[in-house]
Amino acid sequence: MKKGNRYGTHRVIEPKGILPQPAVKISNDMEIYDNEILIDVQTLNIDSASFTQIYNQAEKDLAKTEEIIKGIVEERGKHQNPVTGSGGMLIGTIEEIGEGIKDTTDLKVGDKIATLVSLSLTPLRIDNIKEIRPEIDQVDIDGKAILFESGIYAVIPDDLPENLTLSVLDVAGAPAQTAKICKFGDTVMVIGGPGKAGMLCLYEAKRRVGPTGKVICVNYDETRFEEIKEMGIADVCIAADATDAVGLLQKIEEVTNGELCDVVINCVNVENTEMASILCTKDEGLVYFFSMATSFTKAALGAEGVGKDVNMMIGNGYTKGHGELTIQIMRDSDSMRELYTKLFA
């Protein structure tokens, strides 16, 4: 077997000398290097912002959506949306393990895993698209993928449905980071709270802020507000347009007595919500942009333009233990598991 670079740079075709994620094109030849793992792919879970953009571009036509998805992979060797730059993740079965890592990995041929690295850097080949489920951003395929030596993953647990596991692991970084940044007594707002990432963030935020804290769920309409209230994962639910920064600010001032939020977590999949997130945050508070629709130029220059001294955190999809923490939520909360199974599995 040919020797490969730990981070997969040997797969980069254009431009040479950079990592696979920012590369325009990578090799999706499925003959593995000595430090790679070959996966027989079952399902792609496409990033919400990416799938929304593709589906809208296809005018919500499934045949056109399939054509766009295949076209991206054929052109780039990976599923990296050229508009959003984001990818997603996958579930599949280990087919082959490179000779150089057989003794260092705990995986074996036949294990079913979910990759916890983005499709935007994962060599992927799609042979056939079997089904597209736009309501949960999932695509069932016949195909293969490569996991690099540096790639992280989660073995699919036996006690949860596979599609549920895939759905929650896709956004595992959000609740795990929420657990790190929310403190006892904080006021926390989650924009896009009723979404797949949002409800997990509400759950973790509510656990962390305690009885003296406040968790605010924001959405453009009242979707799932009733379920969120019943589960007790938010103290206040607000229907508001997060692209209307001043309008949302006025509502948050009302429910916080003008004090605003210690932490704002942005989980939406639409553009132009940066300023609402920033305005609703206290000076020296924290904005966590988990959304891949975020423009960090708009956020940085916008905060400067309105004189807001806030800390802004990029939504890194990885933090230590994020997969385990998120899967445990599904085990600990019957109501969350039942709702997520209904909506996303």
Question: Could you give the CA distance from residue 211 to residue 206 in angstroms, rounded to a whole number?
Answer: 9
244 touches 272 (CB < 8 A): no
pLDDT at 122 over 90: yes
Please, which residues have CB within 8 angstroms of residue 152's CB and are 6 or more apart in sequence?
Answer: 115, 116, 117, 318, 323
Average pLDDT across the chain, whole number: 95
Per-residue pLDDT, 192: 97
SS3 category, 313: strand
- Give Cα 115 distance to the centre of its chain: 12
Report the alpha-carbon angle 68-163-45, nearest 5.
Answer: 25
Instruction: Specify burial of residue 188 (Cβ count, 10 A radius: 0-12, 13-18, 19+).
Output: buried
pLDDT in tens, 142-190: 999 999 999 999 999 999 999 899 889 989 999 999 999 999 999 999 9
Question: Could you give the CA distance from residue 81 to residue 129 in angstroms, rounded to a whole number?
Answer: 17
Closest CA to 111 of 158, 144, 150, 161: 158
Write down the pTM of the prediction. Answer: 0.85
pLDDT in tens, 276-326: 999 999 999 999 999 888 898 999 999 999 999 999 999 888 888 999 999
**Residue range 43-67: mean pLDDT, rounded:** 95
Peptide bond preceding 161 in cis form (omega within 30 of 0): no
How much of the chain, in percent, has pLDDT values that exceed 90?
Answer: 92
pLDDT in tens, 218-259: 999 999 999 999 999 999 999 999 999 999 999 999 999 999
Question: Could you give the CA distance from residue 50 to residue 82 in angstroms, rounded to a whole number?
Answer: 9
**Residue range 43-55: mean pLDDT, rounded:** 93
Per-residue pLDDT, 132: 98
Question: Could you give the CA distance from residue 109 to residue 126 in angstroms, rounded to a whole number?
Answer: 21
